[in-house]
């Protein structure tokens, strides 16, 4: 993959990033508006990484660091570019950058219907933890996720 570069997400990438996530079976949510992703970029500019092939967005990983723990979201590689080590490259890069800013532990969540990807992360040294994941949307009635 000599021509594929990794670079920071930029606001102009919004439509391409959303299209990539749809193509990869990831479901963009209400935090993935253009403004939402700019807010994300302002917090962790170097951890929101895209893979670019000839100007096209063909991979992504969205890292976060809250000062205590790191999080990985939106790891995706376009179906056309899978099996070439690109996810490994994105994961190596985001974890290297996390270590560089003092992050000692990184977490991620897998949707139940995507449980098959667990084997990928185990290969990278991630272990499953039987936690109960709870969530709440702020500023709207309970149960409303639109
Ligand atoms: C999971 C995903 C990112 C892997 O991308 P990729 O670029 O094809 O992965 P790589 O080429 O870097 O794979 C590296 C290694 O992991 C292995 N691997 C890839 N996907 C795997 C999976 N689902 N389960 C187990 N191993 C997997 C590859 O076989 C390869 O192993 P090898 O080096 O021994 O040959 C990609 O399939 C994808 O975008 N899936 C849909 C989105 C998704 O599920 N994201 C995770 C959300 S939690």
- CATH code for the domain of 79: 3.40.630.30
Q: Is 85 in the pocket of ligand 1 (CB under 6 A)?
A: yes
Full-model pTM: 0.94
For residue range 6-64, list pLDDT tens digits in order. Answer: 999 999 999 999 999 999 999 999 999 999 999 999 999 999 999 999 999 999 999 99
Number of structural domains found in the chain: 1
Q: Is residue 130 part of a domain?
A: no
Q: Is residue 34 part of a domain?
A: yes
> If you write DSSP's letter for every residue of the chain in order, what string do you get?
-TT-EEEE--GGGHHHHHHHHHHTT----TT-SHHHHHHHHHHSGGGEEEEEETTEEEEEEEEEE-SS-EEEEEEEE-GGGTTSSHHHHHHHHHHHHHHHTT---EEE---GGGGGGHHHHHHTT-----PPP----TTS-TT---
Q: Is residue 15 part of a domain?
A: yes
Instruction: Judge whether residue 1 has pLDDT over 60.
Output: no
Q: Which atom of ligand 1 is nearest to the CA of 114?
A: 44
For residue range 99-117, list pLDDT tens digits in order. Answer: 999 999 999 999 999 999 9
Q: Is residue 134 part of a domain?
A: no
Q: Is residue 47 part of a domain?
A: yes
Instruction: Judge whether residue 93 has pLDDT over 90.
Output: yes
Q: Tokens representing 102? A: 């003092």
Q: Domain limits at 38?
A: 5-123
Q: Is residue 58 part of a domain?
A: yes
Q: Is residue 115 part of a domain?
A: yes
Q: Is residue 44 part of a domain?
A: yes
- Confidence (pLDDT) at 146: 45
Distance 122 CA to ligand 1 centre (A): 11
For residue range 63-85, list pLDDT tens digits in order. Answer: 999 999 999 999 999 999 999 99
């Amino acid at each position: 993959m000599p021509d594929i570069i990794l670079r920071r997400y930029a606001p102009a990438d919004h439509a391409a990033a959303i299209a990539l996530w749809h193509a990869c079976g990831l479901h963009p949510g209400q935090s993935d508006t253009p403004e939402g992703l700019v807010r994300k970029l302002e917090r962790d500019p170097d951890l929101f990484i895209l893979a670019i092939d000839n100007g096209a967005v063909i991979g992504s990983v969205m890292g976060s660091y809250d000062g205590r723990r790191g999080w990985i979201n939106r790891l995706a590689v376009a179906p056309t570019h899978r099996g070439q080590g690109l996810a490994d490259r994105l994961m190596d890069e985001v974890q290297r950058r996390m270590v560089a800013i003092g992050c000692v532990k990184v977490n991620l969540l897998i949707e139940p219907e995507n449980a098959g990807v667990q084997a990928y992360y185990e290969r990278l040294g991630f272990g499953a933890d039987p936690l109960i994941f709870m969530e709440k949307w702020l500023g709207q009635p309970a149960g409303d996720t639109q």
